[in-house]
Chains A and B, each alone.
Chain A
Amino acid sequence: MATQFGRKLACELIFSHFGESVQKVCKSLVYHGQLSLPEIAHYTKMSTTQIHNSLLVLVQHSCVQAFKVEHDGIGSAPPRVLMLYIALTDNILHCMRFPKFLVLVKEDVGDQVSAEALVEGLLEHGRLTLEQLIQRAAARAGKAEGEVATVVKDCFHRLLANHYIERCPVPEPSLCPNIAVEPAKKTACGAEVSDLAPGSISEEQRIMSAAAPTDAERFQAPVSLISMGGTHTEMGDSNHPVGQKRKREALQIDAKTAAAAAAMDEKEVLWHVNYEEFVRRLRHQACVAFVRSRIDAMAGTVLEGMLDATCRHKTSVKQHSSVPMSIEVIMDSVRNLQLGQGMTVERLQVGLQQLVSDSAGYVSRIGEQGGLAEGSQYVVHLHKIIELLRQNEVEGIVLQRYGQECCRIFRLLGLNGQLEQKQIGERAMVPKDVRELLYRLLKDHYVQVQEVAKTTERVASKSIHLWCVDNQAVLHQVLDDIYHAASNLSQRLAHELEKEQQIHVPNANLTNSQQEQVKRIQSIMTVLEASLLKLDNAMLLFHDF
């Protein structure tokens, strides 16, 4: 992503997780785009083995993606194949959210400690094979591998069914060179922002889509699990005996090759956490919470049901609208929820009616037949809810930073396009201070001013100045501020910890004052880390949702 402080934050996270040399490599990739190995060496001035190791670590954790670009041979020279690396800043920033992901897994897949432990292992190590997962679980529990294998595989299957984990992308996909690469433009504050046409996909996305396996393959369970036929499979229970029999027959015929394939599957296929799914769930949670506070709890439950039903038909994480759903589908889905078990058809209809009639228009009904909502289907427009949430958040920030009158002016300009200073003063009822308030907002890029000359010669005193709010610019600015705040928090935390290093060593005989210091540092850590987690919510809202 293209914000100045976003990159800084990413580099800091890498430093705190992996150390300095990895950070250097990451920094060069983040700030300079796609690089090949010699270019990285040039920027970081480290030895090739060091760079190699750092890159291995980064690729292991899905923070860097390697890819090949084939350039056509010039003249008689053979075609060259360049190996390039690109940093995946989004994935790096996900490091901040690991605790949230773990909580999500715990809530969703049930209270099984092993499910949480599995995900934890994957997050810790970046990517693992099934065999390694089993080994890790066995080591932790202090039992033999055979004992834990079934439990682990069971959890694994459950996680896979919910799409929380997926196969790793292809290590070195091939791409044709992008000839018309637009040069990075520098903005006024010295940050490099690469300018992209709104419809085109970024380099990062292009590479990732080339690397990613198809959807069918991503969540394909390893062969061993399907042939296991033990506890449960992805197929329904009714198919269980039939499928099992067939599979057993097939296995009997081809026992050896199948066993070999299964073993290889377990040993060689790497799995990693599917960040998209986690972000999607967090997004749904945010939408439901919003509706719950805006209308009431029941409408929130109805929306939750609708969003759950769409999980089966998802296309991409950032989809704007869900697929149309009929009432029966929604009803089934709501009944599955914990809070929706006592739902009757009438209450559901009331809830749907409330959602549809909300002026924000994030649920719409299509295909109404004969006045009654019998044959109609409902669509949820997620992007509208997210937009509302963002707008709300930005207005809250303006309110707290600059005061109520500035907030009024900001909202007025947001609703009414371009206005002159005098009109703003009258409508917001702040005739005297309007100029000062507008300038304060202008300084921090929340509003913009455009000069319209009255005469052909541009005389400054005679031209009209129109003030307006550019939503994109404001969102960008707010996101940058959030990253800046997060970066500051983590730096301060590191600084405080550094200052108190000497206390932690002698644990036995601590004087009173030292105990005080320990308490103080602990409370500081709690405050800073809790604020970071809260700030992370805002980050998700403005960037990932």
Chain B
Amino acid sequence: MASRLGATINKILDLCRAHSQGLPQKVLDEELQEVEVEIIKQSLNVLLQKQKLQVFMQGESIVYREQDTEAAAKFKGLTSEDMLVYQAIQQAANTGIWTADLKKRTNLQQLQVNKALKNLESRSLVKPVKTVANKNRKVYMLFELDPSREVTGGAWYTEQDYDAEFVDVVKQQCLHFILKQGLASLEDVAESVRKSGITQVELRLEEFKQILDTLVLDGDIEEVVGGAPSSSHAPVSFETVCYRASRSRIPETSALTSVPCGICPVLRECRPDGLISPQTCIYFKDWLTF
């Protein structure tokens, strides 16, 4: 019996080595037709426990692959629950996975999940990372991975906190450049800010686009399609978006808001014979004292 087990194990390993891309369940069944299902099951379990085999889902079918010894050493001594947790975390890749999601995915009890996590952490296989979305929430990801932008918030977040001043500084710099140039494309702006060296943080083009979009929304600059060719780059095509100073800015004073009623927070409650009325309004009193 034991020899039969041993023989099956060896056969499976041979098959795995033969199919280095992965041994599909179908092929395994074909080759081991003469062996009983019970023995196949047992041999698979032994191999899994010894970390010699890895199971994957490829589409709808199961695929087996041999695991090299290094990886086997890493996982030595880990229980199957630990492995399950590890695999779930591995799947989450850059984004990381939250403990509650982990519980759902692995269908394990909270206690088991916690134990597994502690185990993995002590072996430096996974690490917890704080997210910006929810300061109290921690996500787990593989130790060697860098957390993605969404988790740390990108360049605008320093230490999990939205750095409004930094954003402001970059904004002012961009605006200054555009106003000086008259007409500039996204790359021009990005380069000028990088050259000025006001910040060590590496800012990507998308982040510059974010800043410029905000400036457009503020009404300081506007988008123009197909601008003039810039000096440092090749001539700009007609579809490129360029930016220039806005011609109609949002007015800073208007007729309505130069009167106290325009900025009054309780305008909706103001009635001639009510608690708040134009005759007794304190804002009016302040406005009319010279």
Q: Mark B247-290, 1 if CB is under 8 A from A, else 0.
A: 11011111111110111000110101000011101001001101
Quick one: closest B residue to A388, CB to CB? B248
For A531, give its contact among B210, B247, B258, B277 (CB under 8 Å).
B258
Q: Is A538 positioned at the interface, with any CB of B under 8 Å from its CB?
A: yes
Nearest CB in chain A: distance from B109 CB, A? 26
The size bracket of the interface on B is: 35 or more
Q: Mark A46-66, 1 if CB is under 8 A from B, else 0.
A: 000000000000000000000
Q: Is B128 positioned at the interface, with any CB of A under 8 Å from its CB?
A: no
Which of A75-83, A95-103, A115-123, A400-408 forms contacts with chain B? A400-408
Docked Cα-Cα span, A404 to B167, in Å, equals 15
Nearest CB in chain B: distance from A158 CB, A? 32
Which of B28-36, B53-61, B214-222 forms contacts with chain A? B214-222
Q: Is B256 a contact of A481 with CB atoms below 8 Å?
A: yes
Nearest CB in chain A: distance from B275 CB, A? 15
Nearest CB in chain B: distance from A468 CB, A? 16
Q: Is B248 a contact of A293 with CB atoms below 8 Å?
A: yes
Q: Is B210 a contact of A400 with CB atoms below 8 Å?
A: no
Q: Is A535 a contact of B256 with CB atoms below 8 Å?
A: yes
Q: Mark A387-412, 1 if CB is under 8 A from B, else 0.
A: 01000110111011100100110011
Docked Cα-Cα span, A528 to B278, in Å, equals 12
Q: Is B272 a contact of A392 with CB atoms below 8 Å?
A: no
Q: Is A297 positioned at the interface, with any CB of B under 8 Å from its CB?
A: no
In the assembled complex, which residues on chain A have CB atoms less than 8 Å from the CB atom of B191? none
Q: Is B146 positioned at the interface, with any CB of A under 8 Å from its CB?
A: no
Given the contacts A294-B247, A407-B218, A428-B217, A531 and B263 also touching, CB distance less than 8 Å: no
Q: Is B156 positioned at the interface, with any CB of A under 8 Å from its CB?
A: yes
Docked Cα-Cα span, A408 to B268, in Å, equals 24
Q: Is B268 a contact of A444 with CB atoms below 8 Å?
A: yes
Q: Is B213 positioned at the interface, with any CB of A under 8 Å from its CB?
A: yes
Given the contacts A395-B219, A432-B162, A485-B256, A401 and B263 also touching, CB distance less than 8 Å: yes
Q: Is B288 a contact of A524 with CB atoms below 8 Å?
A: yes
Docked Cα-Cα span, A359 to B246, in Å, equals 12
Chain A interface main SS type = helix
CB contact list, B159-211 vs A, under 8 A:
162, 167, 210-211
Q: Is A186 positioned at the interface, with any CB of B under 8 Å from its CB?
A: no
Q: Is B284 a contact of A481 with CB atoms below 8 Å?
A: no
Q: Is A495 a contact of B251 with CB atoms below 8 Å?
A: no
Residues of chain B having any CB pair with chain A under 8 Å: 156, 162, 167, 210-211, 213-214, 217-219, 222, 224, 247-248, 250-259, 261-263, 267-268, 270, 272, 277-279, 281, 284, 287-288, 290
Given contacts A396-B252, A492-B281, 18 further A-B contacts (CB under 8 A): A400-B253, A400-B262, A401-B257, A408-B214, A411-B219, A412-B217, A429-B214, A482-B255, A485-B256, A485-B259, A491-B277, A491-B278, A491-B279, A492-B288, A495-B279, A523-B290, A527-B287, A534-B258
26 interchain pairs, CB-CB under 8 A: A290-B248, A392-B248, A392-B250, A397-B254, A397-B262, A399-B250, A399-B252, A400-B252, A400-B253, A400-B257, A407-B250, A408-B218, A428-B214, A429-B156, A429-B167, A429-B210, A478-B256, A484-B267, A484-B270, A485-B267, A488-B261, A488-B278, A523-B290, A527-B288, A538-B254, A538-B255
